[in-house]
Structure 1
Amino acid sequence: MDEPALKYKNLLEILAETGGAIIAFSGGVDSTLLLHAAKEVLGDKAIAASIATPYVPQWEQGEAREFAKQIGVKHVVVNMDFPAELRMNPPEHCYTCKKILFSKLLDVAQKNGVKHILEGTNIDDLSDYRPGIKALRELEIRSPFVEADLTKQDIRELSRRFNLPTWDKPSFACLLSRMPVDAEVTDQALQQVEQAEVFLIKIGFPAVRVRHHGEVARIEVPADRLQDFMDANEIHGINNKLKEFGYRHVALDLGGYKMGSLNKK
């Protein structure tokens, strides 16, 4: 048994000890494997819970619903309006967001008679800038991947072995990460970003960020795909399409995709 398999065995033992759990499920790489594992060991005592809110892309919410249905787990979707505390996109919006969202999931757990809420933070996340982790710790939310010492590479490799649809899915963050901090986030801006990113994903750029700067869309793709993007503009009319979504100027960031490039330094 190789190292990822040994870690997965440990993960299953950790999950079994809970006796039942709510799994915070976004449909991303990490939470999909976590839900798969929870279903394997807990059966009907594994419940997926997702938050539907304006700054979570509709397409990702749809993928979460589809996967939960596919593997036959109970899936609770909590609809939530845009929290007033996040409207001005404070620098610590991840902390505030996690505090609000997981407080909602605590209510879901109580209604379902479940003691444990699990989420998909992995070992690599601990060395990144993740203010939301502080909120998870304050609310006593468990992170089984951390407990089992699973890295992002482990999670992708195990997902590939289990033929999960997310094994090679690019990492995504909520749409607030596309907005400048300390600036009002409008519903129109969220819609523009989501429309633009859905279009760019469909034409072949799965790892993309559309950073919103008022009338300007600053697009980040991996540095080795900059020329591909310019070619795609000629074929698909990216510039004109994003202007249809409401942008006046469309810019390609020559530095390539950088995680958290709008974080306040």
Structure 2
Amino acid sequence: MRQALKSKLEAVRAAVTRQGRADAALPPLTGIVSVSGGLDSRLLAHVLRQWDLPFTAVHVTGPHIPMRESARAVAWLAAQGRPFHTVEADPLNRVEVLHNGRQRCYVCKGVMFRRIASLARELGAELVVEGSHADDLQGYRPGLTALAELGVVSPWALAGIRKAELRELARELGLADPEQPSRPCLFTRLEYGMIVSAELLRKTAEVEQEVEGLGLRDFRLRLHADGRIVVQIHARERGHARGHERAVLAMVRERFATPPQILYSETVSGYFDDNAGQADA
């Protein structure tokens, strides 16, 4: 392992064992690690387990989390051989989330992590950690403000570890699927200002599951307020996707009855934040 990355990993260890403690002789903190099932949180849970630290994993379910992703997260946690918890959080009862406002993520993260904080109190855990990294600090991430207000710690971000370094570290440690694409929650598939419903989120998740079954990995379904639908696919998957475009279009029309547009782009993150919906296909 590169010395620079090793030093950052030591900073992570310090953050999760002595957070806020001046006395190094005290025992390590007990804690909760939030595991969405993505690479960042899986790697954090994996490292905590390798260090044999007293952290319990929790996965949050809700209408904004595709069932297939929850199933994968739970299966991965079960395979680790340690007790874990699943809790439900439904942010759709909050107006800012229901109307998909620009502060949606702030409100949603608050709902989710207050539920986790409640579990932490039940278990007597002293610290809650999650997997945001240094690159997340550069984008539009109002949810990070909610985490900070709740005292949730993001060790990767604190140590200045970026996404590429997390992939490198995952390869070094033998974690499964180190190239796993990021998969943010289903709210990000809808343009700001669209009214959200559990049914709309369910249909979106079903289409994405079918598209994934074609062998595509890094893509998103994007629903615009004016009725347009875009299937956004990372440009590196263009070669494979070209042979499945007709099937992809049919999958969308089956559930939404709207002819979608296919958009190949160099990134599939921040679509509605960066006005990428205006990009040329």
Distance of 1:69 and 1:29 partners within structure 2: 16
Pick from 78, 95, 108 the counterpart of residue 97 of structure 1: 108
**Displacement after TM superposition at 1:216 (Å):** 4.0
Distance of 1:132 and 1:171 partners within structure 2: 16
Partner of 1:243: 253
Deviations 1:114-161 (A, max 9, x none): 110001111111111111111111111111112322111111111112
What TM-score, normalized to structure 2? 0.86
What TM-score, normalized to structure 1? 0.91
- Runs of at least 5 residues in structure 2 that lack an aligned partner in the other structure: 19-27, 276-281
Contact 1:27 1:64 (C-alpha < 8 Å) held by counterparts: yes
Partner of 2:7: 6
Pair 1:52-2:64 in alignment: no
Partner of 1:229: 241
CA RMSD of superposed structures (Å): 2.0
Distance of 1:91 and 1:176 partners within structure 2: 11
Distance of 1:213 and 1:87 partners within structure 2: 16
Distance of 1:109 and 1:224 partners within structure 2: 41
Matches within 5 A, 1:1-265: 2=2, 3-17=4-18, 18-43=28-53, 45-85=54-94, 86-213=97-224, 216-226=228-238, 228-234=240-246, 237-255=247-265, 257-263=267-273
Distance of 1:108 and 1:229 partners within structure 2: 42
Query: What is the one-letter code of the residue matched to 1:249?
Result: P
Distance of 2:85 and 2:112 partners within structure 1: 13
Distance of 2:122 and 2:80 partners within structure 1: 23
Deviations 1:171-227 (A, max 9, x none): 111000001111211222112211111111121210000012375431000134445
Query: What is the one-letter code of the residue matched to 2:165?
Result: D
Contact 2:37 2:72 (C-alpha < 8 Å) held by counterparts: yes
Q: Given the superposition, is the C-alpha separation of residues 256 and 186 from structure 1 closer, same or farther in structure 2, using an over 3 Å criterion? A: farther
**Displacement after TM superposition at 1:63 (Å):** 1.4
Deviations 1:83-102 (A, max 9, x none): 32211111111111111111
Distance of 2:38 and 2:254 partners within structure 1: 29
Contact 1:19 1:42 (C-alpha < 8 Å) held by counterparts: no
- Runs of at least 5 residues in structure 1 that lack an aligned partner in the other structure: none
Contact 2:109 2:146 (C-alpha < 8 Å) held by counterparts: yes
Query: What is the one-letter code of the residue matched to 1:74?
Result: P
**Displacement after TM superposition at 1:78 (Å):** 0.8
Q: Given the superposition, is the C-alpha separation of residues 181 and 153 from structure 1 closer, same or farther in structure 2, using an over 3 Å criterion? A: same
